[in-house]
């Protein structure tokens, strides 16, 4: 199962990279606002990929709860998956907060 998640994540990453590389060479960053824009766009892609993965993890954990049929090991594994999904959401929110702090620092606000 871990291999499947890895393959899906790698495929999404490669699709995003192919789209970015097909637009030509990146511009040279000469101003802090350009750096903030670049970091915001990268964070947008990362949030999209992580959001999809978190939703898939919640769905899979729910499927495991439903099909556990009283098996304590499967229920425990599903609970761990829900816990790590919540940790993923917290990390995503913290990354957004760090981005806002960095943006305010670079723009001098």
List, for residues 2-56, the tens digit of each pLDDT value.
Answer: 778 777 777 766 666 666 666 666 667 777 778 788 888 888 888 888 888 888 9
Using CA atoms, how far apart are residues 44 and 17, in angstroms rounded to an integer? Answer: 13
Using CA atoms, how far apart are residues 94 and 80, in angstroms rounded to an integer? Answer: 21
pLDDT at 37: 81
pLDDT at 14: 66
pTM: 0.63
pLDDT at 109: 57
Q: How crowded is residue 92: how many other Cβ atoms within 10 Å of its Cβ?
A: 16
The pLDDT of 57-71, averaged and rounded, is 90
pLDDT at 23: 63
pLDDT at 76 over 90: yes
Which pair of tokens denotes residue 25? 């060479």
pLDDT at 83: 93
Compare 21 and 68 and report the one with higher pLDDT: 68
The C-alpha torsion from 36 through 38 and 42 to 44, rounded to 10°, is 60
């Amino acid at each position: 199962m871990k291999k499947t998640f890895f393959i899906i994540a790698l495929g999404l990453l490669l699709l995003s990279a192919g789209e970015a590389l097909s637009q030509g060479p990146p511009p040279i960053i000469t101003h802090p606002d350009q750096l903030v824009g670049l970091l915001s766009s990268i964070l947008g892609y990362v949030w999209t990929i992580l959001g999809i993965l978190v939703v898939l993890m919640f769905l899979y954990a729910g499927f495991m709860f439903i099909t556990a049929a009283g098996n304590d090991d499967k229920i425990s594994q599903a609970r761990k998956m829900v816990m790590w999904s919540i940790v993923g959401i917290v990390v995503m929110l913290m990354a957004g907060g760090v981005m806002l702090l960095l943006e305010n620092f670079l723009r001098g606000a």
